[in-house]
Amino acid sequence: MSLSYRQPGVVLTDRHFTVPLDHADPAGETIELYAREVVASDKAGQDLPWLLYLQGGPGFGANRFVGRQAWLGRALKEYRVLLLDQRGTGHSTPANRQTLPLRGGPAEQADYLTRFRADAIVRDCELVRREVTGGAPWTVLGQSFGGFCAVTYLSLAPEGLTAAVITGGLPSLDAHADDVYRAAYPRMERKVAAHYARYPQDVDRARRIADHLLTHEVTLPNGYRLTVEAFQSLGILLGGSEGSHRLHYLLEEAFVPTPQGPALSDAFQEELQGLLSYASHPLYALVHEAIYGQDTRPTAWAADRVRAEFPQFDAAKTLTGDGPLLFTGETVHPWLFDCDPALRPLRETAGLLAARTDWTPLYDPTRLAANEVPVAAAIYHDDLYVDTAHSLRTARAVRGLRTWVTDEFEHDGVRAGGPRVLDRLLALTRDEV
């Protein structure tokens, strides 16, 4: 039963769908998907084309908008929008430390999670589309990992699409995870340098916090073990439009005086645990590197292995000199599963996923080269999360794909500049610009 309700300017409808866990076994076990349908109040009774939104991640449910925030207002001028919680996320059947033991031990959990990649998400979308639109194709908007899914959609089921719009999410079609992170660490270093150029006072603050963590054992109120490597992972903020400013304000309130000497403040620790915890999105940590698995090579904790090739990220070595501490970015490491109480029970499961050698291809270069679906992609120059060179190479490999390369936005451009970004990309798919 669908339930409809209202927010300012919009009508929302909760939608629920049942799909196979394994699309190769459609008569087998099923899981539930949740999606929120959104339509402008003054168009609620109209027959409108559909736009499917695929969130970034992996592991995040779709945005919970209030009214017509970000890009949604522009979309609602002409579309009925479906905000899908991809399998395992949001209000769909969850996959986390509480539910995964229902599958059995780590081996069974790892096998289960292999079905939570872009190919399964696209096949989910195709079943949902037939139910929602009656079989008519729709437009897909893919942000970040959602853009990866959109390229998989173009590879597996282009007949389901009238157009594809991608923001910050054109993946390499063939790069191994090692290649992804070898390209990523230099970008991280550039983003950190830009942050310190903006806030030079943060050089000393970050070094002081790192020194404290190297000489003290710190456990945050939620049980998170705060190591210096975990602190460095706050660099993930630098990929967003407000991230540098958020990091600065966080660092400036790190210490308070106590009878025992300077200590990390309660306010600092409280904000830190919210930024570092994976409790709300454990799939991000579990299957993040699996989104790059496409052949018989294991991902094998690629971000962690490749980091060793960039010794300037070693905090202990940095503190023996007077250089700035480097933060890292969108990387997943084995130590996360020791630090984070939401991930600790899943460490062995994550290790088994990292060791897998039976990944199937997510993209079809031949089909993409013959693509007939209008596609437009925003490529954010020096995007922290997605390599610009990789994206441009993929853009050249997809027939008819039009790009908008810009340094006006960071990775979250579709949120920060939503109406303008979406408007331009839709115009590109229609040859209007």
32 lies in the same domain as 114: yes
Average pLDDT estimate for 84-104? 98
Q: What is the mean pLDDT of the chain?
A: 97
385 lies in the same domain as 289: no
User: In the predicted model, is pLDDT for residue 218 greater than 80?
Assistant: yes
Average pLDDT estimate for 48-52? 98
pLDDT at 2: 78
259 lies in the same domain as 141: no
**Among 306, 334, 355, where does a domain finish?**
355
346-382 residue pLDDT tens: 999 999 999 999 999 999 999 999 999 999 999 999 9
141 lies in the same domain as 30: yes
138 lies in the same domain as 167: yes
Number of domains in the chain: 2
User: In the predicted model, is pLDDT for residue 207 greater than 70?
Assistant: yes
The 3-class SS string of the chain reads CCEEEEECCEEEEEEEEEEECCCCCCCCCEEEEEEEEEEEHHHCCCCCCEEEEECCCCCCCCCCCCCCCCCHHHHCCCCEEEEEECCECCCCCECCCCCHHHHCCHHHHHHHHCCCCHHHHHHHHHHHHHHHHCCCCEEEEEECHHHHHHHHHHHHCHHHEEEEEEECCCCCCCCCHHHHHHHHHHHHHHHHHHHHHHCCHHHHHHHHHHHHHHHCCEECCCCCEECHHHHHHHHHHHHCCCHHHHHHHHHCCCEECCCCCCEECHHHHHHHHHHHCCCCCHHHHHHCHHHHCCCCCCCCCHHHHHHCCCHHHCHHHHHCCCCCCCCCCCCCCCCHHHHCCCCHHHHHHHHHHHHCCCCCCCCCHHHHHCCCCCEEEEEECCCCCCCHHHHHHHHHHCCCEEEEEECCCCCCHHHHCHHHHHHHHHHHHCCCC
Residue 132 belongs to domain with CATH number: 3.40.50.1820
Average pLDDT estimate for 176-182? 97
Q: Which residues are catalytic?
A: 144, 358, 411
Distance CA 371, CA 165 (A): 14
101 lies in the same domain as 122: yes
Average pLDDT estimate for 45-60? 96
14 lies in the same domain as 137: yes
pTM: 0.97
Output the CA–CA distances (angstroms, integers) from residue 45 to 3, 42, 249, 425, in the order listed.
16, 8, 46, 27
**Among 301, 328, 355, where does a domain finish?**
355
228 lies in the same domain as 349: yes
pLDDT at 192: 98
148 lies in the same domain as 34: yes
> What percentage of the chain has pLDDT greater than the value 90?
98
289 lies in the same domain as 418: no
Residue 187 lies in domain: 177-355
287-345 residue pLDDT tens: 999 999 998 999 999 999 999 999 999 999 999 999 999 999 899 999 999 999 999 99
pLDDT at 418: 77
**Among 337, 355, 373, where does a domain finish?**
355
257 lies in the same domain as 394: no
219 lies in the same domain as 350: yes
User: In the predicted model, is pLDDT for residue 31 greater than 70?
Assistant: yes
240-299 residue pLDDT tens: 999 999 999 999 999 999 999 999 999 999 999 999 999 999 999 999 999 999 989 999
376-410 residue pLDDT tens: 999 999 999 999 999 999 999 999 999 999 999 99
pLDDT class of 1 with cuts at 50, 70, 90: low
In 10 A of CB 35, how many CB atoms? 26
